[in-house]
Amino acid sequence: MTVPTATKVELKKIELSIQGMDCAECANHVREAIIAIPGVIEADVFLSTEKAVLRINADQVDLRTICKAVEKAGYRVPEMKDPRVSSSTLTPFVGDHRRYRGLLLLVFGLVLGVVTVGEWGGIFSILNSWIPLPLGALFVCIAGLPVFRNVLQASFRKQITSHTLMTLGAVAALLVGEWVTASIVVLFMRVGDRVEKFTTDSARRAVKDLIHLSPQTARVERDGEEREVPIREVRVGEIVILRPGEKIPVDGEVISGNATVDQSTITGEAIPVDVSQGSYVYASCIATLGSLKVRAVRIGSDTVFGKVVRMVEEAESNRANMQRLADRFSTYYLPVVLGIAGFTFLLSHNPLSTAAVLVVACSCSFALATPIAMLASIGAAAKQGLLIKGGKYLEALARASIVLVDKTGTLTLGKPRINEIIPIGQWSASEILSLAASAERYSEHPLAEAVRIAAKEQNIPFKDPKDFVALPGMGVKARIDGYTVTVGNRSLIPSGAVIPQSEGIEAKEGSVLFVLIDGELGGVLIASDSVRPEVPEAIQKLRTLGVSHIELLTGDNEHTASSLAERLGIPYRANLLPEDKIRIVKEYQAQGQVVVMMGDGVNDAPALAQADVGIAMGAAGTDIAIEAAHIALMKEDWSRIPELFLIARRTLGVVRFNLAFTAFYNVAGITLSAFGLLPPVIAASAQSIPDVGILLNSARLLRMPTKN
């Protein structure tokens, strides 16, 4: 009997531009329509960049089927093109409150005009009596056709939207002969749509303005000539030529020339840096005061800037718990409003009061309250070199009470130097350094770099290691000239082994590297590192912000850890392996604490991923830092850590205000309408005001905290 073999399913990732989404409710509708298609495995719909990112089984579903589902849901799929050149990216998102105040005044002016001239001045009553109802009803149907069509399509999909309620209100007004009231409802439905679109577009620009920083062309050397080509045609290894004032289109190594480079798009640091032959430069940075030739190492989405853009674009999928709560609330809110409207009609038998209840209730403002604030913060922070992968990490950071910190490369500068070599037995200091440097030749640890630098400075040769093995949390092992050489911390020493000069070695200030040769201790290297100068002040600011516990976690020895921790006034745990750090994070989480882990993103990657919020320091050019952490600081600057906490708490405060304001506004409007104190005309006029209020409040987040 032949046993059939399982065939491997080939999954394909596609990105689809989608037009017509004005609020989080729209994005949810699009996602539901797409995910219901057989063969669609995952679907994320991003309101901020107006696109969907899908993983599909290409054997089961094609692009045409997906496009039809999106269009059936009431949205549009334009021709596929590079989103970075779309017209919506060309308008920068500036925190100019005058624009928003102008919008608010315009809406209030329109509302005031309708209420005073139309309702209180009696103009609406005159129009209602002069123009026959059939003609007025025809005008209402023509003016509201796009909205009514979307409502019908949603009804066929068994969905209730805020427009469903307002449409029912307009119908109720028509049934009692108030065609002018129905037309005002339609007018403010359209005004509300414009306000919501303006609100979401403003938040989108915080992200799209970042995307627009990427250059679209590059000048390359081909066949002895300079050619300007689209960025997608640049190949790895090609020579890119840069003139003064031009944006760097690739990540690469400078092979000739000198220039001053503005790296603020990557690090958020306003002070330019000088680069020359051998320097590494990043895409989207601007070369000023000089010309360069750069060998392309990474292009397009593989550049650091490309990864930054992808992180910011996809941050919307990591929604905050408050946003999920608001989405669930919106699901139940609309049926409840329908129930209140029905109850109002049963008690009052007044169709106009019932219509007023329906038109004043605005669920879109609930859906917008959280994402608008989160998008504004994430987009603005990205421009400052602070990459936040989603709203849920901002929310967690705002609630965090425990901060766990790695030592090397995080609290310290990460550039230790070997300041003492202690030979043991038959080996000389130069022999020990040569063997250690050879074993550490391919290690990426900062201490390995210190060993190699010390050997180079003393002109001591080192060789290519054989059978190189990295020992996570301990060190490295390799074969050198027939010897098995192991270099690392004390955990490499066999249990019970006697270490000569043990007391003197353990008392040394700095990190201790033991060098074992064929299993016997041959010598010890002492390396020291400097604490980042801004760390003490940053720790004090964190305490001022209410962080109750800051703790050092390190693989270094007890003496080095205690000396550093005492200097900073924080508790510590020493001699830790990567799995020990994960265990400690889990211990605090089991106590109900929200835990922040800070590391360099390399050996701390597992603990960064386990923590509620993992923060990687100096992530520019470090793939593993960007991938493992939830928040990445592109520049190694501890003063940005208190800023992050402040941003998170400001954002959470804005979200809470948005939700509270929206809830109060809607409850007050529904109550007044139910008791007949708010006519449908005024109710319709008032429903667009919460969106403007949310925009104005959230726009405050565009201004990042300034460093003292």
Q: Among all residues, which ones are annotated catalytic?
A: 406
CA torsion sign, 498 to 501 to 503 to 506?
negative
Q: For residues 190 and 184, what is the distance between their CA atoms, to the nearest angstrom?
A: 10
Q: For residues 162 and 172, what is the distance between their CA atoms, to the nearest angstrom?
A: 16
Question: What is the C-alpha end-to-end distance of the chain, expressed in Å?
Answer: 77
What pairs with residue 358 in β-bridges?
none
Contact 354, 341 (CB under 8 A): yes
Segments in 223-363 forming alpha helices (H): 264-267, 304-314, 321-348, 351-360
Contact 303, 213 (CB under 8 A): no
Q: For residues 480 and 457, what is the distance between their CA atoms, to the nearest angstrom?
A: 21
Q: For residues 374 and 369, what is the distance between their CA atoms, to the nearest angstrom?
A: 9
Question: What three-state secondary structure class fits 299?
Answer: coil
Torsion on CA atoms 486, 490, 493, 495, rounded to nearest 10: -160
- Could you tell me whether strands 417-423 and 273-275 are parallel, antiparallel, or unpaired per DSSP bridges? unpaired
Segments in 532-577 forming alpha helices (H): 535-544, 558-568
Q: For residues 395 and 650, what is the distance between their CA atoms, to the nearest angstrom?
A: 10
Q: Is residue 569 classed exposed, middle or buried when 0-12, 13-18 and 19+ CB atoms within 10 A define those classes?
A: exposed
The most distant pair of C-alpha atoms in the chain lies apart, rounded to whole Å, by 113
DSSP for 172-220, please give it. Answer: HHHHTT-HHHHHHHHHHHHHHHHHHHHHHHHHHHHHHHHHTTS-SEEEE
**Residue type (1 letter), 462:** F
Q: Which residues of 84-93 are buried (b: 16+ CB within 10 A; e: fewer)?
A: eebeebeeeb
| C-alpha separations of 157 from 38, 50, 61, 272, 291 in Å | 17, 22, 21, 55, 59
Contact 361, 165 (CB under 8 A): yes
Token representation of residue 187: 């007018």
Cβ atoms within 10 A of the Cβ of 221, count? 13
Helices 364-383 and 640-674 meet at what angle, rounded to 10?
160
DSSP code, position 303: S
Q: Tell me how many degrees the CA angle 195-175-145 measures, rounded to the nearest 5.
A: 40
Nearest in space to 313 (alpha carbons), one of 396, 193, 199, 212: 212
Q: For residues 552 and 598, what is the distance between their CA atoms, to the nearest angstrom?
A: 10
CA torsion sign, 92 to 95 to 98 to 99?
positive
Contact 522, 432 (CB under 8 A): yes
Contact 378, 391 (CB under 8 A): yes
What pairs with residue 521 in β-bridges?
516
Q: Helix, strand, coil: what percent of the chain each, to 5?
A: 50, 20, 30
Q: Tell me how many degrees the CA angle 474-480-481 measures, rounded to the nearest 5.
A: 160
Token representation of residue 526: 């002492």
